[in-house]
């Protein structure tokens, strides 16, 4: 599957999960979506072709470039755990 479509599916599945299963508010969902889109763009830019290729160092490098390691690490780790 083309990486654009794979990442779109992962995002769609995650948003559906947090909406249906977790019952998060629309504001929370929008925030997650915005943050995950930025993360997926980063993965595309470093030529990650699937979620299976993501390594811990990719996550920490992304978080370090954003300057928000502690806050986002929980969200990104949860995201990777759900879809790995």
> Is residue 2 predicted with pLDDT exceeding 80?
no
The count of structural domains within the chain is: 1
What pLDDT was estimated at residue 18?
92
* Res. 30 pLDDT band, cuts 50 70 90: very high
- List C-alpha distances in Å: 20 to 6, 16, 46, 64, 74: 21, 6, 31, 31, 20
Length of the chain: 84
Residue span of the structural domain in which 56 resides: 3-82
46-82 residue pLDDT tens? 999 887 899 989 988 888 887 655 555 566 666 666 6
What pLDDT was estimated at residue 8?
85
> Among candidates 33, 1, 3, 40, which has minimal Cα distance to 17?
33
* Residue bearing the bigger pLDDT, 8 or 4: 8
What pLDDT was estimated at residue 69?
53
């Amino acid at each position: 599957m083309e990486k654009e479509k794979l990442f779109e599916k992962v995002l769609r599945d995650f948003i559906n999960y947090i909406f249906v299963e977790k019952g998060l508010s629309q504001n929370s969902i929008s925030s997650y979506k915005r943050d995950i889109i930025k993360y997926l763009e980063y993965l595309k830019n470093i030529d990650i072709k699937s979620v299976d290729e993501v390594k811990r160092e990719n996550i920490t490098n992304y978080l370090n470039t954003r300057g928000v390691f502690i806050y986002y690490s929980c969200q990104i780790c949860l995201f990777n755990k759900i879809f790995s």
